[in-house]
Amino acid sequence: MFVDKAKIFIKAGDGGDGAVSFHREKYVAAGGPDGGDGGRGGSICFLADDNLSTLADFRYKRKYIAQKGENGKSRRSSGKNAENLIIRVPRGTLVKDCESGRLLADVSGNAPVLVAKGGNGGWGNIHFATPTRQVPRFAKPGMPGEEYEVTLELKLLADVGLVGFPNVGKSTLVSVVSQAKPVIANYHFTTITPVLGVVSMGEGRSFVMADIPGLVEGAWEGTGLGHQFLRHVERCRMLVHVVDVSGSEARNPQEDFEIINRELEKFNPELARRPMIVAGNKCDLATDEQIETFRNFVEEKGYEFFPIMAPINEGVDKLLNKILEMLSKLPPITRYEADPVPVAEVEKIDKNQVRITKHDNVYFVEAKWLFNIMKSVNFDDYESLQYFQRVLINGGVIDALREAGINEGDTVSIYELEFDFVE
């Protein structure tokens, strides 16, 4: 079964906790703190795997959790970093955050793409020793790993997309010009999954062709099977519109051509501007008058027309040469950039979700929403720092610190940030 959408939960590993430990050695008095740092939690990465063609595996396993980093140890020994969790998906898979709709990754290259970052390990008590605090009996816990509920959406990577009504010969064309073996029969919706074929035209001259099935009138709003597969057209560098010029099913070729073009434009207006050529198939069933009438119709609209008879490979070479010529002048397949982390709105912060703990006049602040905000703050930028100060005030952090009894000059620790409290 072809599955091109799935929803899963991913959670990167939490960082290991820092250790509270003191040096113990014979003849060494007051050896001091020697607690090591915790290890980094495992991150979650996505990797393109060309052996996969659908997202069907994600129907059965929906939760992916990376390992936690090892806790720190005595003798200044840091905990071991956890291994990253690699999730293999078909090439061309988009990873989107379900809650915000933000694009987290486009898994189209060969390198693993980091989506959820593992938490850093907590500091051991060796970091908290000062001339006035020589015996710190506390350490930092590990930072939480990022977690998301994500939607996986497969958009096939192909240079050329074949579009057109069912039963016009798209699958036959793919089978003739490549090693792909789609199911071919003389009835509608024979092809119920997109078919990819590599067209080789000599050394260093090849491209990927995709048969996009199921397009009929109303496909963009859910009619037929087309609404499931229109997204796969979006990545194609150019389109080949295959039309039955003979009207063998009592259809009008001109009307079919217009209908499919309207469906593409309604789904995504950019598709209407995508480079396109027209292949008139089943010419053996058409009269010369039908072919010329359709040729004139297409050329008046600014498209090049190529009459073919796909089953016997008639006229196909000329079509392929034109495709190769056009591809040499077109930009590469579209790759999407991940959306930036949005800046949270201070007004929407839940002021009740702040946890304050105190150890030796160090006030530790914990809040999941605050951790997420800190990822988008540039502490070297004045305006960004001003924004973060407003978050601390409007989010209730400063009030919570005052209620916990903080005094001026005491240390505030917010995850990886430390500063002295000033009234």
What tens digit of pLDDT does each residue of 185-242 get? Answer: 554 555 556 788 889 887 778 899 988 876 766 544 555 555 566 777 888 899 999 9
Helix axes 288-300, 253-267, angle to 10 degrees: 30
Q: Please determine, for residue 153, whether its predicted confidence score (pLDDT) is greater than 50.
A: yes
DSSP code, position 221: G
Q: Is residue 332 part of a domain?
A: no
Q: Is residue 335 part of a domain?
A: no
Both 354 and 372 in one domain: the answer is: yes
Q: Is residue 338 part of a domain?
A: no
Q: What is the pLDDT of residues 117-142, one digit of tens each?
A: 999 898 898 888 877 777 888 888 88
Q: Please determine, for residue 97, whether its predicted confidence score (pLDDT) is greater than 80.
A: yes
Please state, in angstroms and rounded to a whole number, the distance separating the CA atoms of residues 357 and 412. Answer: 10
Q: Is residue 52 part of a domain?
A: yes
Instruction: Name the 3-class secondary structure at 99.
Output: coil
Both 315 and 367 in one domain: the answer is: no
- pTM score, whole prediction: 0.74
Both 142 and 286 in one domain: the answer is: no
Both 413 and 397 in one domain: the answer is: yes
The chain-wide mean pLDDT, for the chain, equals 85
At residue 112 the predicted structure's pLDDT band, cuts being 50, 70 and 90, is very high
% of the chain with per-residue pLDDT over 90: 39
Both 150 and 165 in one domain: the answer is: no
Both 293 and 189 in one domain: the answer is: yes
Residues 105, 107, 113, 116, CA torsion sign: positive
- Mean pLDDT for the stretch of residues 384-396: 82
Domain end call among 282, 297, 327: 327
DSSP code, position 192: -
Q: Please determine, for residue 289, whether its predicted confidence score (pLDDT) is greater than 60.
A: yes
Both 145 and 190 in one domain: the answer is: no
Q: Count structural domains, the chain.
A: 3
pLDDT for residue 309: 94
Provide the CATH number for the domain around residue 370: 3.30.300.350
Q: Is residue 353 part of a domain?
A: yes
Q: Is residue 28 part of a domain?
A: yes
The full DSSP string for 49-78 is -TT---SGGGGT--EEEPPPPPPP-STTPP
Both 164 and 149 in one domain: the answer is: no
> Where is 306: in which H helix or E strand?
strand 305-307
Determine whether 329 is exposed, middle or buried from the number of CB atoms within 10 Å of its CB (0-12, 13-18, 19+): exposed
Tokens of 281: 């198939």
pLDDT for residue 357: 86
- Mean pLDDT for the stretch of residues 277-297: 93
Please state, in angstroms and rounded to a whole number, the distance separating the CA atoms of residues 404 and 411. Answer: 13
Q: Domain of 309?
A: 160-327
Strand partners, 106: 94
Provide the CATH number for the domain around residue 225: 3.40.50.300
Provide the CATH number for the domain around residue 77: 2.70.210.12
Both 100 and 178 in one domain: the answer is: no
How many other C-beta atoms lie within 10 A of the C-beta of residue 255?
12
Please state, in angstroms and rounded to a whole number, the distance separating the CA atoms of residues 316 and 176. Answer: 9
Q: What is the pLDDT of residues 3-37, one digit of tens each?
A: 788 999 999 999 999 998 988 878 777 778 999 99
- Mean pLDDT for the stretch of residues 287-310: 94
- Mean pLDDT for the stretch of residues 323-352: 76
At residue 250 the predicted structure's pLDDT band, cuts being 50, 70 and 90, is confident
Both 149 and 165 in one domain: the answer is: no
Both 321 and 206 in one domain: the answer is: yes
Both 177 and 287 in one domain: the answer is: yes
Tokens of 420: 């002295």
Domain end call among 120, 154, 188: 154
Domain end call among 138, 154, 170: 154
pLDDT for residue 244: 92
Q: Return the higher-pLDDT residue of 80 and 30.
A: 80
Please state, in angstroms and rounded to a whole number, the distance separating the CA atoms of residues 401 and 418. Answer: 14
Q: What is the pLDDT of residues 354-385, one digit of tens each?
A: 888 888 778 888 887 777 777 777 777 787 78
pLDDT for residue 114: 95
Please state, in angstroms and rounded to a whole number, the distance separating the CA atoms of residues 238 and 226. Answer: 18
Q: Please determine, for residue 351, whether its predicted confidence score (pLDDT) is greater than 60.
A: no
% of the chain with per-residue pLDDT over 70: 90
Please enumerate in sequence order all residues whose Cβ is within 8 A of that of 318, keeping only pairs 6 or more positions apart, or say none: 306
Q: Is residue 253 part of a domain?
A: yes
